[in-house]
């Protein structure tokens, strides 16, 4: 008789409210700016500011919505201007607006274009501009937009994609990252420099098989950058006029996440010349690197990892930290060697400025005993349960395809009144991307399951980032094979190790993860059910209708368009192999994976009489943002598991 699910205090509304989280922190002049998503306000994004005196202000009241749609995945939608003004992109029309310190807001650009990677310098907004032209064509360039008003000036054009435009200290040179179709930025990019007076341009680093990211000027003649030429995204120094790159700290670790959104920098230059850096595998640790000696010193924090964006005012470091019991929180740390009145003197730590501390109550310690008086900002991360209901993830490796290692995080069921005495039902989580990875940040969506007695295994299948270029490229030409083989292997490992009841293992994922869910259910019989959020089911329609940024991605993941090859790989063509129930959830305004993808798969299963529930949500795009949608989707998911695990 299958074991019953446990009662849990973690509700669907708790999970929906947890989507209120800070992002894109910027430190400047003693103040801190960041964005915050508001699921209960229709999913809009606002901008907040914490002043040096501790006062906080929300800069954009409803209905303003600060989001950029460049590449559709967007990125940091604002930049801070001198004097406390803020330039931001409004979602509804994608225009740039200037918010004055007085609160007055005025448009800087006409409608029709999109803007991202914003920086304000000498009265100009430097940014990447994206133009959508007739016939579905898209062009991008690096431009400046005057804060005082007037037409944008184009400085660099000719490549399909641009990122990270950054001016030299003397303002004479512009460094930037660029690449062309069919490559993605984790396949091959170039770091180029253009002399603004005359337009002379040259390549500093990169190429077809080297991913170069995140340039930062050390001085007028030298740049820092990240490259994976060693097989790992490591830090280098480069002379602007050419020559060999100088590795600063060679390690078989990553110093960044993949470039999927624009506007973040995974390291920061301190006033004394040291670099605040992030390094590790799936979870990145915060450290200080002395580029002169190569000495890397980890900072002692209770956090498991940091998101791949840092900011500094020269002395303190601002970033988004997390742990299995702490949601992503904007945290300011003063590395040893600097003084800052807000820092706890004996630890070099400061309180969290966003998110929620352990236990989730204002005034509790967000830094595990080292950062006293952690402050929870308005909205925060909602109500957190007693930590006894939170799972403790542990990294595991399991045998995958051809006996190689597959990386994953195991989240056993956790409940103060129930012990695990027998194999439990499990859900395998499959991340999207697919060039991405799972981390161990507190996720109430997982706690929603584990507190009910359903375990979770979050799989970083072959092709995931965080484990070097060779692991990342295991998916080249094998999307729908390697990812499927690894998730099937994960299910079998769960059963063999006694964690899971082999008859009660489900699989769920979104976007590219939804593709893997559908493909795994087509190609195996190990799953009791599959849940796909806005998943890909057919390749030719995806190529024809998806957005420009990923429009050639399938060529690398599967191969050049070939209907016979596609029929051997795509879930829609293989849907006859599905024998388990499925739940498909889809936003009807999705520009990345159009609704027809889920609808076609649902129809194919219905024709064969395979149980399939297909739920659609008006006004939702790629990734659900509204609280009511998140809550309804999770309720449907739990009901589905209750049925398939009986």
Please state, in angstroms and rounded to a whole number, the distance separating the CA atoms of residues 6 and 455.
Answer: 12
**Is pLDDT at 378 greater than 50 in this prediction?**
no
The predicted pLDDT at position 381 comes to 53
Residue 3 banded pLDDT, cuts 50, 70, 90: low
196 pLDDT higher than 70: yes
Question: For residue 646, what pLDDT is reported?
Answer: 82
Q: Give CA–CA dist 606/428, Å, rounded.
A: 24
Mean pLDDT of the chain: 91
Residue spans of beta strands (DSSP E) within 2-149: 22-28, 31-38, 44-50, 56-58, 78-80, 86-89, 96-99, 105-107, 113-121, 124-132, 138-146
Question: Hey, what are 526's tokens?
Answer: 């190990």
324: left (phi over 0), alpha (psi -120 to 50) or beta: alpha
Pairing of strands 138-146, 153-157: antiparallel
Give 528's contacts (C-beta < 8 A, 6+ positions apart).
Answer: 425, 503, 504, 505, 506, 580, 581, 644, 645
Handedness of CA 227, 208, 536, 543 (dihedral sign): positive
Q: What angle do CA 597, 570, 456 make, to 5 degrees?
A: 80
Distance from C-alpha of 318 to C-alpha of 331, rounded to nearest angstrom: 6
Q: How do residues 87-106 score in pLDDT, each as one tens digit?
A: 999 999 999 999 999 999 99
The Cα–Cα gap between 84 and 487 comes to 49
Query: Which residue is it, tokens 């007693």?
Result: 386
What pLDDT, on the 0 to 100 scale, is given for residue 414?
A: 96
Rounded-to-integer distance, Cα 29 and Cα 25, Å: 13
Encode pLDDT of 622-634 as tens digits.
888 888 999 999 9
**Other Cβ atoms closer than 10 A to 305:** 22
CA distances (Å), origin 545, targets 70, 196, 235, 321, 569 = 17, 37, 37, 36, 19
CA distances in angstroms from 548 to 73, 137, 172, listed in the order given: 11, 8, 32
Cβ-contact 322, 306 below 8 angstroms:
yes
Supply the pLDDT for residue 334.
86
The answer to whether residues 448 and 528 touch, using CB atoms and an 8 Å cutoff, is no
Taking the C-alpha atoms of residue 484 and residue 491, their distance in angstroms, rounded to an integer, is 11
The predicted pLDDT at position 365 comes to 28
Q: Which pair of structure tokens corresponds to residue 375?
A: 């402050």
Q: Which of 386, 432, 391 is nearest to 409 (CA)?
A: 391
Q: What is the pLDDT of residues 473-513, one digit of tens each?
A: 999 999 999 999 999 999 999 999 999 999 999 999 999 99
Tokens of residue 500, six digits: 């899971």
Q: How confident is the model at residue 17 (pLDDT cuts 50, 70, 90)?
A: confident
Q: How far apart are CA 27 and CA 22, in angstroms?
A: 14
Estimate to the nearest angstrom the gap between the alpha carbon of 162 and the chain centroid: 19
**How many angstroms separate the CA atoms of 195 and 354, rounded?**
40
**Average pLDDT in the 528-535 region?**
97
558-585: pLDDT as tens digits: 999 999 999 999 999 999 999 999 999 9
Q: Which of the two residues, 347 and 227, has the higher pLDDT score?
A: 227
What phi-psi label fits residue 43: left (phi over 0), alpha (psi between -120 and 50 degrees) or beta? left
- Please give the Cα distance from 54 to 2 (Å, whole number): 54
Predicted confidence at residue 402, as pLDDT, reads 81
So what's the pLDDT on residue 353? 44
**Token pair of 243, please?**
């020559």
Q: What pLDDT, on a 0 to 100 scale, did the predictor assign at position 384?
A: 84
Closest by CA to 534, choosing from 548, 513, 551, is: 513
pLDDT of residue 382: 63
Work out the percent of the chain whose per-residue pLDDT is above 70. 92
Query: Rounded to a whole number, what is the distance in angstroms from the first to the last CA of the chain?
Result: 9
Nearest to 171 by CA among 217, 211, 214: 217
Q: Is 219 helix (H, G, I), strand (E, B) or coil?
A: strand
Task: Using pLDDT thresholds of 50, 70 and 90, give the confidence band for residue 373.
Answer: very low
Residue 68's pLDDT is what?
Answer: 97
Residues 44-74 have pLDDT tens digits of 999 999 998 989 999 999 999 999 999 999 9
Strands 31-38 and 44-50: antiparallel
| Dihedral, CA of residue 96, residue 625, residue 538 and residue 408, to nearest 10 | 110
Largest Cα separation within the chain, whole Å, is 78
pLDDT computed for residue 510 by the predictor: 96
Say whether the peptide bond before residue 364 is cis (omega within 30 degrees of 0). Answer: no
d(C-alpha 504, C-alpha 506), whole Å: 6
Distance in angstroms (rounded) separating the CA atoms of residues 51 and 45: 20
Residue 286, pLDDT above cutoff 90: yes
Q: Where are the beta strands (DSSP E) in 16-59?
A: 22-28, 31-38, 44-50, 56-58
**DSSP annotation string for 476-537:** TT-TTTHHHHHHHHHHHHHHHTTSEEEEEEEEEEETHHHHHHHHHHHH-S--SEEEEES---
Take residue 35 and report the two structure tokens written for it.
Answer: 């964005």
Question: Do 385 and 10 form a contact (C-beta atoms < 8 A)?
Answer: yes
């Amino acid at each position: 008789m299958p074991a019953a699910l446990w009662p849990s205090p973690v509700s669907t509304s708790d999970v929906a409210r947890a989507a209120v989280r800070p992002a894109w922190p910027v430190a400047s002049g003693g103040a801190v700016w960041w964005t915050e998503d508001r699921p209960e306000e229709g999913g809009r994004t606002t901008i907040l500011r914490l002043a040096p005196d501790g006062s906080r202000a929300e800069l954009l009241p409803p209905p303003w919505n600060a989001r950029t749609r460049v590449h559709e995945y967007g990125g940091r939608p604002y930049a801070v201007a001198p004097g406390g003004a803020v330039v931001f992109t409004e979602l509804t029309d994608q225009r740039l607006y200037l918010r004055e310190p007085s609160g007055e807001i005025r448009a800087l650009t006409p409608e029709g274009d999109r803007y991202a990677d914003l920086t304000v310098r000498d009265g100009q907004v430097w940014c990447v501009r994206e133009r959508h032209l007739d016939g579905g064509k898209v062009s991008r360039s690096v431009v400046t937009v005057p804060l005082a008003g007037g037409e944008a000036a184009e400085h660099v054009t000719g490549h399909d994609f641009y990122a990270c435009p950054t001016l030299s200290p003397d303002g004479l040179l512009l460094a930037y990252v660029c690449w062309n179709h069919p490559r993605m930025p984790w396949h091959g990019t170039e770091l180029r420099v253009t002399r603004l007076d005359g337009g002379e341009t040259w390549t500093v680093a990169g190429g077809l098989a080297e991913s170069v990211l995140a340039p930062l000027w050390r001085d007028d003649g030298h740049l820092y950058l990240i490259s994976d030429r060693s097989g790992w995204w490591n830090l280098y120094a480069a002379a602007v006029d050419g020559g060999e790159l100088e590795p600063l700290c060679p390690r078989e670790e990553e110093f960044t996440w993949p470039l999927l959104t624009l506007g973040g920098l995974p390291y920061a230059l301190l006033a004394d010349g040291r670099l605040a850096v992030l390094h590790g595998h799936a979870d990145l640790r915060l450290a200080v690197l002395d580029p002169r000696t190569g000495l890397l010193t980890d900072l002692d924090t209770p956090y498991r990892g940091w998101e791949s964006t840092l900011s500094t005012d020269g002395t303190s470091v601002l970033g988004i930290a997390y742990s299995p019991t702490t949601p992503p929180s904007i945290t300011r740390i003063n590395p040893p060697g600097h003084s800052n009145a807000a820092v706890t003197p004996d630890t070099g730590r400061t309180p969290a400025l966003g998110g929620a501390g352990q236990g989730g109550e204002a005034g509790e310690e967000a830094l595990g005993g080292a950062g006293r008086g952690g402050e929870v900002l308005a909205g925060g991360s909602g109500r957190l349960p007693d930590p006894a209901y939170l799972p403790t993830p542990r990294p595991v490796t399991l045998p995958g395809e051809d006996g190689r290692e597959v990386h994953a995080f195991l989240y056993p069921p956790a409940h103060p009144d129930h012990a695990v005495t027998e194999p439990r039902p499990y859900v395998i989580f499959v991340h999207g991307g697919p060039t991405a990875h799972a981390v161990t940040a507190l996720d109430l969506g997982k706690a929603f399951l584990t507190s009910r007695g359903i375990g979770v295994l979050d799989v970083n299948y072959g092709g995931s980032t965080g484990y070097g270029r060779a692991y990342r490229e295991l998916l080249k030409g094998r999307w729908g094979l390697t990812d499927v083989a690894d998730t099937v292997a994960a299910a079998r490992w769960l059963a063999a190790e006694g964690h899971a009841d082999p008859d009660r293992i489900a699989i769920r994922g979104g976007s590219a993860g939804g593709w893997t869910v559908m493909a795994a259910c087509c190609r195996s019989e190990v799953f009791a059910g599959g849940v796909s959020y806005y998943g890909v089911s057919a390749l030719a329609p995806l190529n024809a209708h998806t957005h420009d940024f990923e429009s050639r991605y399938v060529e690398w993941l599967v191969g050049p368009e070939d209907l016979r090859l596609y029929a051997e790989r795509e879930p829609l063509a293989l849907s006859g192999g599905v024998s388990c129930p499925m739940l498909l959830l889809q936003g009807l305004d999705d520009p990345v994976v159009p609704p027809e993808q889920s609808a076609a798969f649902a129809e194919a299963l219905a024709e064969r009489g395979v149980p399939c529930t297909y739920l659609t949500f008006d006004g939702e795009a790629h990734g659900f943002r509204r609280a009511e949608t998140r809550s309804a989707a999770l309720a449907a998911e739990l009901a589905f598991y209750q049925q398939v695990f009986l």
